[in-house]
Amino acid sequence: MPHRAPLIALGNPGRNFATAICNPALIPVKFTHPCAEDREPGRGFVDARAALRYIWGIKLLSQPRLPRRVSQFPASIVEPWRLSVAPMLDWTDSICRQVHRRLSRHALLYTEMVTSAALVRGGARHLLRFDPVEHPVALQLGGSDPVELAQAVRMGADEGYSEINLNVGCPSDRVQSGSFGAVLMKSPELVGDCLGAMRAATRAEITVKCRIGVDDQDPEQALPALLDAARGAGVKRVIVHARKAWLQGLSPKENREVPPLDYALVERMLSAYPDLKLCLNGGIATLDQAEDLLSRGFAGVMIGRAAYHQPVDILASADRRIFGQPTTDADPVAVAHDMRPVIAGHLARGGRLIGATRHILGLFAGQPGARAWRRALSEMPNGTMADFDALLDGLTQRRAA
């Protein structure tokens, strides 16, 4: 009967690593994933060489644990996640985030989802660029390969992101074809492996955003399984979109609206997982609603489309109402003027005016003149700074009248 080596758990990455590579008797050997000592044997690597490839892939031994420019959340604001703006593909780019930051100094902002493959295999490091004014800002990654995600995490942390988030909630066909996003709700063990690798690669905070289940999954089982995986990987904060996702038959837009919200299920997880900070996402459209949910024990609320289409309603008073800061509410006219150098820079780089001004179409939503503002911006998609300056002058004159 062939010799079988004992199971070696790398709960502390690298702790037993040297023993394994220096002792041929330990091959073959099974390794469990870092931060997964409590998992049953047989779920880890098939042999020592696979484990070594994994460890070298995330460069635990060859890279310093703290990246050069990893940023921490500001010491004066310990919980920016109390209110966050959701990552939204094609919407929450750097210019959008700079608009939102001028409305709230403290709300946590997220990038659009960036795939680990685009960064690691495609060399698209430009997707990580942001302006320091955006802090606190988090990077959202999409992917399902632990080694590749760890490499992407190091790239993101090196750029200075305060938090790096794993997307386990997007249901689009494009994302499913890459075997990541909401489809990962079916593979909580893989999610745990990904999160463990991401945490091992950086000291930036690692979080995960998920659904309560997909397709025919029972959310009462699917959500706890995901939370168990996140907790087992050492993750401390999870953002839950309180809807199931249907991977077939519904568009991404329909998946944001058709599956019913189940806040009660997520609220029950507060007592079941007291060691996790649970933030709620989905269907939150007002700051009053956000305040109510925070009062019920959620660590934070994440708002998406409402924050984009009615940014002043959600963000202008957030520093005062959500973060308790003794500040005056942000002025949308001042924000429009403050965005001028950002828009000028966008044009200087060859961008179209509408590429920047689309993010302020809703700046005066619900206020007199909002329709005229939207129409004026929409009618000059290829306008110049002189066109935008004329619009700003009109805002100033109307205020003075």
Active-site amino acid positions: 170
What does the alpha-carbon distance between residue 232 and residue 211 come to, in Å, rounded to a whole number?
18
Report which of 151, 207, 212, 210 is spatially closest to residue 180, judged by C-alpha positions. 210
What does the alpha-carbon distance between residue 66 and residue 149 come to, in Å, rounded to a whole number?
17
Task: Name the pairing type of β-strands 163-168 and 137-142.
Answer: parallel
Instruction: Please give the C-alpha separations between residue 383 and each of 148, 343, 353, 369, 372, in angstroms, as whole numbers.
Output: 41, 11, 6, 21, 17
- In 128-285, the DSSP E strands lie at 137-142, 163-168, 205-210, 213-214, 237-241, 244-245, 277-281
Identify the residue whose tokens are 């700003």: 392
How big is the CA angle at 173 (ends 169 and 178), to the nearest 5 degrees? 75
Is the separation of the CB atoms in 149 and 143 below 8 Å? Answer: yes
Cα 305 → chain centroid: 15
Residue 386, Cβ neighbours under 10 Å: how many?
Answer: 8
Identify the residue whose tokens are 């060489």: 49
Is the separation of the CB atoms in 27 and 52 below 8 Å? Answer: no
What does the alpha-carbon distance between residue 187 and residue 42 come to, in Å, rounded to a whole number?
16
205: part of which helix (H) or strand (E)?
strand 205-210
Cα 53 → chain centroid: 28
The total number of residues written for the chain in this structure? 401
Half-sphere exposure of residue 14: CA atoms within 13 angstroms, side-chain side: 13
Is the separation of the CB atoms in 48 and 29 below 8 Å? Answer: yes
